[in-house]
Amino acid sequence: MLDIAFKDFKAKKSRALMCIIGVMVCVLLIGTVNNVLYEMENGLKGDLGTVNGKLYFEKNGTGFPPYGSILNEELGDEVLNQSQVNREKSTKALFSALEGTQTDSGFSIIIVGLTPGKEQAFIQNATVNGKSSLVGEADNAIIMGSEAAIKYNATVGETITVNDNQYKVIGIMNKQGTGWPLSIDYSMVMALNKAQNISSMPNLTSTVIIIPSSSYTIQSAETSLQDTYPKYSILSEQDAEKTIDKNLSQIRIFMNMINAFIFIVSIVFIMNVMMMTVKEKTKEIGTMRAIGTRKRSIMKLIIYESLIMSVIGGIIGIILISPVYNLMGLLMGYTGIDFLSFYIPPLVLVQLLVIIFVIGTFSGLLPAYLANRISPIEALRYE
Amino acid sequence: MDGLVKGVGLWKTYKLDVTEVHALRGLDITVDQGEFVAIMGPSGSGKSTLLNMIGCLDTPTKGELYIGDEKTSDMSDKELTRMRAEEIGFIFQTFNLLPALSVRDNVEFPMRNLSGKLKPNKTNRVKRAEEVLELVGLTDRMNYLPAKLSGGERQRVAIARALVNKPKFILADEPTGNLDTEATENIIKLLHEVNAEGNTVIMVTHDKDTTHDTRILRIRDGVIQN
Ligand SMILES: Nc1ncnc2c1ncn2[C@@H]1O[C@H](COP(=O)(O)OP(=O)(O)OP(=O)(O)O)[C@@H](O)[C@H]1O
Ligand SMILES: [Mg+2]
């Protein structure tokens, strides 16, 4: 019956084309949405790397990155003097998003002000082109994240102007996020007092980035600091992960709602076309039944036909996902995209194959049921 | 000799709201192996109803119908489908070929409806289809789609399709109703040739000219008159 279904399908090209395009668009949309979701998850999870091995001392109820948190510098100094804290490596830090600096991908440039000499607390593992320390540099010296550098077309040694302020770029970090960029990639690291000036937050800080002293583990430092400061939050990698998961799950629900919608629309679409087909073929189906074709074979014929269409459309859709995704990136201002590269995360691919199969089968079921209700006697009368 | 088709006291009653329409009213019929039977009668007299019943497309409301030694009057839909596939060849007034399939595929198609040992493999199915097409003189049209054929040619394909499973008999409901005089003559001649090979033919017709050398059954108001 598969070969007959294929011949039927070829005989009605425009109808088939409609279905194929329908499934193609469905797979393309779902695939792209899932790709974005996947990279976002990857990227945000990657952000956790910047929290790894340290604690963020913050105002209660704030998360990571610690934008909403405001602390007095005196409190910061007090925290730095606690025995759980490695004073040499830990630092007060002011995080603030620079207004009017939204990049095409929706992120703003983040100012990170910290005590010169303690850049490692934030930069950690990033490789820096140029200098990685603000010590002995001009008051307006900055170390830039990769995406921030791209946005301002900055090179090491140059002076750039952002919101009427001039900065001397002394170092540029390599990109930290794989795929989706991380907060660190959008950062401009500078001296704390400079950051306080620019964001008009004198004597204020957002957080203390804490590296535990040698007699404490991350865990024990967190518990013991929390005991000392019950009204503040001590954010660890686990806490950051929770915040990120919470944010992600909302996005995930939203994206999956979009997916479900696209999915249902395309099933209804193909089902509709297949119902038209069945109606149109009443006489043929009746003839087949009259000359002894079993109901099961008729059912197979219809389902095969809708499967053929959804598989062809689905495969074209899958092939197009990568280029479309790259094109999206290009429109969003990413550079260095390799259009010949073809990549779909295996998990997304499996999801899509299941979707293609389900669309093909489900959209054929109702039409097949209708086809089986055709009485051969009535159909033979049908003109 | 026992009849190949034997109907006893066949009734077919359609209920339309409150009124009942009796398409057949206790009709008896016997057709023997190798016969060529023409069923004639006025419009609405029940010819198609009878033919559909003999063709296992329908069952009588009352009465008994045997095909060979199988009682079809109380068979399930599944069994009736098997009977149609294995024992009966159909020819329709409007040809009813499958438009997406070539002539060869149309003739090969009924063999797919067979099951188990009866079903030949693809190679043998194609071989058999070509053999029957040669019989009806359409060897040079095998790769055509039905839309490219004349009415007479289409009906030849339909005859080949009806013959391909070597059925017990062939049923034709006004096979020449959509054909001109010349094509009609050719089709009737072909049906006689098929009959001469030993095939039983039961045909419904309005046209007296198509009934020479056949046993004529006249049906009126749901019963056979002669
Ligand atoms: N499904 C049905 N429901 C109700 N009445 C029906 C149905 N099928 C057939 N009839 C009636 O049964 C009677 C016999 O119909 P049938 O089709 O057998 O006639 P026929 O002899 O083949 O006529 P024609 O020469 O016009 O084809 C008609 O009165 C018809 O209206
Ligand atoms: Mg009739």
Ranges of each domain in chain B: 33-52+77-224
Task: Identify the three-state secondary structure at position B9.
Answer: strand
Q: How confident is the model at residue A300 (pLDDT cuts 50, 70, 90)?
A: very high
The HSE-up count of residue A353 (CA atoms within 13 Å, CB side) is 7
CA A351 → CA A24, A179, A251, A259, A355, distances in Å?
A: 15, 20, 18, 11, 6
Predicted ipTM of the assembly: 0.94
Total beta-carbon pairs less than 8 A apart between chain A and chain B? 63
CA–CA separation, A363 and A71 (whole Å): 59
> Nearest residue of B to residue A7 by CA position?
B100
Residue bearing tokens 């400061």? A229
Does pLDDT of A230 surpass 80? yes
The tokens for A305 are 């036909």
User: From CA B132, how far away is CA B160, in angstroms rounded?
Assistant: 6
Return d(Cα B180, Cα A266) in angstroms, integer.
Answer: 48
Extract the tokens encoding A259.
């997916």
pLDDT at B137 over 70: yes
Of A175-179, A274-278, B40-44, the range with the lowest mean pLDDT is A175-179
Q: Is the pLDDT of residue A203 over 70?
A: yes
Pocket of ligand 1 contains residue B205 by CB under 6 Å: no
**What tens digit of pLDDT does each residue of A14-29 get?**
888 888 898 899 899 9
> Mean per-residue pLDDT for A111-135?
89
Residues 6+ apart with CB under 8 A from A243: A63, A64
Residues B36 and B215 sit within 8 Å (Cβ to Cβ):
yes
CA closest to B55 among chain A residues: A290
pLDDT of residue B151 exceeding 90 = yes
- Res A41 pLDDT > 90: no
- pLDDT tens across B25-54, in order? 999 999 999 999 999 999 999 999 999 999
Question: What would the mean pLDDT of A191-208 be, rounded to a whole number?
Answer: 91
Which sequence spans correspond to the domains of chain A? 2-45+244-381, 52-235
Buried b (16+ CB within 10 A) or exposed e, B87-97: bbbbbbbbbbb
Q: Is A376 close to B57, i.e. CB distance below 8 A?
A: yes
Alpha helix positions (H), B88-198? 103-112, 122-135, 151-163, 181-196
What's the gap in Å between B93 CA and the centre of ligand 2?
9
Beta strands A187-191 and A110-114 are parallel
pLDDT for the residue numbered A333: 66
Q: Is the pLDDT of residue A219 over 60?
A: yes
Question: For the residues A223-234, what does the mean pLDDT come to?
Answer: 90
- Beta-carbon contacts of residue A204 (< 8 Å; ≥ 6 apart): A70, A71, A72, A73, A94, A196
Residue B10 to residue B53: CA distance in whole angstroms: 9
Quote the pLDDT of residue B226: 79
Confidence label for A317 from pLDDT (cuts 50, 70 and 90) = very high
Atom of ligand 1 nearest to the CA of B206: 25
Confidence of residue B1 (pLDDT cuts 50, 70, 90): very low
Q: pLDDT digits over A93-112, tens only?
A: 999 888 777 665 667 888 99
What pLDDT band is residue A337 in, cutting at 50, 70 and 90?
low
* Fold classification of B33-52+77-224 (topology level): Rossmann fold (3.40.50)
A109 neighbors A188 (Cβ within 8 angstroms): yes
Cβ contact A8–B100 (<8 Å): yes
pLDDT in tens, A42-74: 777 666 766 778 888 988 877 777 777 899 999
From edge to edge, which strands make up the β-sheet containing B215-220?
A: B88-91, B169-173, B200-204, B36-40, B215-220, B223-224
Closest approach of chain B CAs to the CA of A316, in angstroms? 25
- Examine the pLDDT at B189 and tell me if it is beyond 70: yes
Q: What pTM did the predictor assign?
A: 0.74
Query: Searching chain B, which residue's CA lies closest to the CA of residue A289?
Result: B81
Q: Does B214 or A336 have the greater pLDDT score?
A: B214
Measured from the Cα of A381, ligand 1's closest atom is 17
DSSP annotation of A85: B
Instruction: Give the DSSP per-residue string, A113-168.
Output: EE-TT-THHHHTT--EEE----TTS-TTEEEE-HHHHHHTT--TT-EEEETTEEEE
Contacts of A380 in chain B (CB under 8 A): 92, 96
Q: What's the average model confidence in pLDDT over A243-247?
A: 78
Q: Residue B79 corresponds to which amino acid?
A: E
Q: How far is Cα A45 from Cα B186, in angstroms, rounded to an integer?
A: 80
What is the pLDDT at residue B40? Answer: 95
What's the B175 CA to ligand 2 centre distance in angstroms?
A: 11
Confidence at residue A105, expressed as pLDDT on a 0 to 100 scale: 60
* Predicted pLDDT at A343: 76
Q: Which of A276-280, A298-302, B204-208 has the lowest mean pLDDT?
A: A276-280
Q: Which residues of B touch A376 (CB under 8 A)?
A: 57
Q: How many CB atoms lie within 10 A of CB A242?
A: 14
- DSSP class of B142: T
Q: How much is the pLDDT for A5?
A: 83
The minimum CA-CA distance between A334 and chain B, rounded to whole Å, is: 50
Query: What percentage of chain B has pLDDT greater than the value 90?
Result: 89
Mean model confidence pLDDT for chain A:
86
Q: H/E element holding A262?
A: helix A237-280
Burial A311-344, CB ≥16 within 10 A → b, else e: bbbbbbbbebbbebbbeebeeeeeeeeeeeeeeb
Q: Is B210 in the pocket of ligand 1 (CB under 6 A)?
A: no
Residues of chain A contacting B101 with CB distance shorter than 8 Å:
4, 7
Record the tokens describing residue A1, joined without a space: 């019956």
| DSSP per-residue codes, A195-237 | HHHHTT-TTEESEEEEPBPTT--HHHHHHHHHHH-TTEEEE-H
For B87, the token pair is 């024992």
Quote the pLDDT of residue A2: 83
